[in-house]
Structure formats: C-alpha cells, structure tokens
Structure 1
Amino acid sequence: MPAAADELPSTGRGRRPPRPSGDDRELAILTTAERLLAERPLGAISVDDLARGAGISRPTFYFYFSSKDAVLLSLLDRVVEEADTAMREAFGSPATGARDGWARAIGAYYDTFRAHRPLTVAWAQARSTSDEVRGLWSAVFERWVQQSTAAIDAERARGAAPAGLPARDLAVALTSMNERVLYATFSGDGPAVAEADVVEVLLGIWLSAVYGAAIPD
C-alpha cells in the first residue's frame, strides 16, 4: 500500500524550502542591519538594502519595522539587555576586592559594546537626529548611573571610600566618560585610547575618583 503524500520519504528534490517564521524574518532583518552597519553608515543603508539582505520584499519589511530607526532601536534593546545582564553579574557576584569588582563591571560594559562596535557608533550618531533613540539611550544611561551610585554609596558606607562629591554626580560624570571614551576608540573620532588600554585607563580613573588617594589593590 503506497504511503500517503505527507508520509513519502523526502529526497530533497523538488520541495520548497520551509517558509521562515515571523521571528526568523525579524532576526534576518536585524542580522542584515548589523552586517551592513559594519560596512557603511546608517544613512547609506536603505530599507531596500535591509529587505533584500533578509530575503524579503519591501512591503514585508514594513510588516515588522516601521523604519530604519525602528530596526536600530530593536538592536539597541537587544545589546543593552546583553550589557545589563553582564553588569548585573559583575555587580552581583562576589569580588576578591574593590578593584576586582570595578574591573569586572567596566570590562563587561566594554566587552559587550566592542562585540557590537558598528552598532555602538551608529547609536551614538543617531541620537542627534532620532528622539526615540535618544530617549531609549537616556533610560539605559539612567539605569547604569543608578547602579554606579549605589555601588559608590556602598563603598562609602563600609568605610572603603571617603566622602566627597555627591555619589550620583560622580556616577553621571564617570559613566559619561565611559561612553565618550568608547565611542572615540571605536569610531576613531578625535583623540582616542588604544583598544588594548581602554579598560585599564577607565578603571584607573574610576578608582581615583571613588577612593581618592586610598586606591584599593
């Protein structure tokens, strides 16, 4: 008795490839965007480029994203979640000492954004033209400032760091420094710290600012 049509063994010939799911298409758009941003700036990438790279039509692209900026926002969400996870692990795991704790936090921040260098540069540039990108980044920045403020306050409370500038103001200034230093290093915009030295330079400044002359080992 012959098998039913849906039971026939597959030879791989004459069959249509499986249709990608909605999630697959969205991921293909995001992957294409990150790949193209490594080759050229966002302004030189069109919706047609994104659709073609993802293997979909232009109308299908608009089913998933309203614009190029929306793609950039979705990518920012994903990478920020990576950074937040890394930072939570760095702040939440026992450290061998203050220097080790700050080094892991700064290293996690640096490693995450270095892994997405073209996106980091694109977001920094898009903030001047996109209210949505600027708003999302401000919210992210605020979370990191709050984490750093709490860590500085904790070091002062246990007597490891001296009283000084308000902890939040210090956290804002230091986190802003991180952002600018990484952007310059990744983009080559203006004087920049060499990649191999970034974490150590940032760590040294954070330790000096938080602990003053009594920098921990």
Structure 2
Amino acid sequence: MSAIKSRRAPTKGDQREQALLDAARAVFRDKPIGQVTIDELAGAAGITRSGFYFYFESKQALLAAVVDQGIAEADSEMAEWLGSAGHDRDSLRRGLAAGLARWKVDGRWLREAFLAPDPGPDVMQIRDRLVGQGCTLFSRRIERDARAGLTVGGPPDLLAKMAVSLRSAMFAEVYADPDAFDEEELLDTLTDALLRLIYGSGPRD
C-alpha cells in the first residue's frame, strides 16, 4: 500500500501569496515601509492591484504576514537551543549566527518593524503582538531551567524579553554599521552575555 501524503502540494494561490511575501521583503529592504505603495508591492509580485486584495486586505496585513514569517524563521533558527536545557553554548551561538545572517539581509524592515521608536500605529500593533509571541519560546525554556534550579531567578518572561531585545538591538547595530564589529567576536560576546543574563555565569566561568 502506498504511503498517504500528509501535506498537499502548494496551489497556484499559495504560490502567488508566497510571491507577494517574497516581493514585499525585497521592496522593504530598499524603502521605508511607510513609503511603499500597494501598486508597488503588486507590481513586484507580478500581479494586479485587485490581485493583491484577493490575498491581503491592506499593506498592514501583508506586513503582518511578512513579520509572522520572520518570527517563524527566528524560532526555527533558535529551535536547537530552545529545545535543549542548560547553557548549551554551541547551539545558542549557532542560532545567533543564523539570525545575524538574516538581519544582514532584511535588517531595514526588521529594524523598522521591531526597533523604530515611532513606527506608526499599524506597525506598532503588529510589533506588540509579535514581540510577545517571539518571547514565548524563550520564556518557556527559561521556565524549564528555573524549575531545575539552573537560572539566576527572576520572572522568566522578563528575562526572555531582555534576551530577545538584546539580540535584536545588537543585530540592528551590525546592520547599521557592518564594519563596526568583528562578527566572530560579536557572536561570542553576545552568546556569553545572554548566558550570563539567564544563568548568572557562562559555561566557561
């Protein structure tokens, strides 16, 4: 008996929606989000303006989907460390290296979506929802280690928010000035700083 496939193949609609997401990421790399028009996004994806509205009701809805995708990628990058316990420095550093590589490509819109002090009400609404979502897996991991007596103490959700904020702030610094830091040194220092924040010491202390 042949195996039953658990997932259908992508439809043309799926492919067009993904094309819009890919096009949006490319456009947002070059221009501030507020200056990008729906006609520009539709044209970059090779569809009409009415075609755009078939998939997304607004530019903000498309941006939310792009940011959702970015959060999923960040979670995937950190999955090895998030699924382990204790310091596990090597997997944390690998996850941070993958995240930094993504920020070096998409840093313009990631910085605007997550770090700009006044990105506008639509982007701020998306930010508030997704920053909380992005901290959840960090918080759960810290909670597990707290129950094992490994962490410094303190609310896991607050430690998670601090860790995620520090990661994003440093990645944004690298995007803004790629020559300001030695990349390997930055990754080592950031890895050890996060471990000390959560555990009070690094694995080599």
Range of TM-score over shorter length: 0.7 to 0.9
Contact 1:127-1:134 within 8 A present in 2 as well: no
Instruction: Pick one of 164, 187, 200 that aligns with 1:199.
Output: 187
Provide the rounded CA distance (Å) in 2 between the counterparts of 1:66 and 1:39. Answer: 23
Provide the rounded CA distance (Å) in 1 between the counterparts of 2:95 and 2:157. Answer: 17
Are 2:45 and 1:29 equivalent residues in the alignment? no
Contact 2:136-2:157 within 8 A present in 1 as well: no
Higher Rg: 1
Instruction: Pick one of 69, 83, 98 that aligns with 2:88.
Output: 98
Are 2:37 and 1:46 equivalent residues in the alignment? yes
Provide the rounded CA distance (Å) in 1 between the counterparts of 2:194 and 2:58. Answer: 39
Post-superposition shift, 1:93?
5.6
Instruction: Pick one of 170, 178, 202 that aligns with 1:181.
Output: 170
Letter in 1 for 2:142: T
Provide the rounded CA distance (Å) in 2 between the counterparts of 1:67 and 1:127. Answer: 20
Q: Deviations over 1:119-144 (max 9, x none)?
A: 31232249732243123323323314
**Alignment gaps of 5+ in structure 1:** 1-19
Contact 1:121-1:187 within 8 A present in 2 as well: no
Q: Which has the higher contact order (CA 8 A, sep 6+)?
A: 2
Length-normalised TM-score, structure 2: 0.73
Provide the rounded CA distance (Å) in 2 between the counterparts of 1:122 and 1:76. Answer: 11
Provide the rounded CA distance (Å) in 2 between the counterparts of 1:57 and 1:162. Answer: 53
Find the counterpart in structure 1 of residue 131 from structure 2.
Answer: 138
Letter in 1 for 2:80: E
Provide the rounded CA distance (Å) in 1 between the counterparts of 2:97 and 2:81. Answer: 9
Instruction: Pick one of 100, 107, 130 that aligns with 2:97.
Output: 107
Provide the rounded CA distance (Å) in 1 between the counterparts of 2:182 and 2:36. Answer: 29
Structure 1 residues 107 and 34: CA distance shift in structure 2, 3 A: same
Contact 1:91-1:105 within 8 A present in 2 as well: no
Post-superposition shift, 1:108?
4.2
Letter in 2 for 1:135: D
Provide the rounded CA distance (Å) in 2 between the counterparts of 1:114 and 1:165. Answer: 32
**Alignment gaps of 5+ in structure 2:** 1-10
Structure 1 residues 99 and 201: CA distance shift in structure 2, 3 A: same
Instruction: Pick one of 158, 162, 171 that aligns with 1:169.
Output: 158
Post-superposition shift, 1:46?
0.9
Letter in 1 for 2:93: A
Contact 1:162-1:211 within 8 A present in 2 as well: yes
Structure 1 residues 64 and 152: CA distance shift in structure 2, 3 A: same
Post-superposition shift, 1:49?
0.8
Contact 2:77-2:99 within 8 A present in 1 as well: yes
Structure 1 residues 48 and 93: CA distance shift in structure 2, 3 A: same
Post-superposition shift, 1:112?
4.3
Are 2:39 and 1:76 equivalent residues in the alignment? no
Length-normalised TM-score, structure 1: 0.70
Provide the rounded CA distance (Å) in 1 between the counterparts of 2:47 and 2:91. Answer: 46
Identity %, equivalent residues: 26
Cα RMSD, aligned residues only: 3.1
Letter in 1 for 2:131: S
Are 2:205 and 1:215 equivalent residues in the alignment? no
Q: Deviations over 1:34-53 (max 9, x none)?
A: 11122222122111111112
Provide the rounded CA distance (Å) in 1 between the counterparts of 2:48 and 2:156. Answer: 51
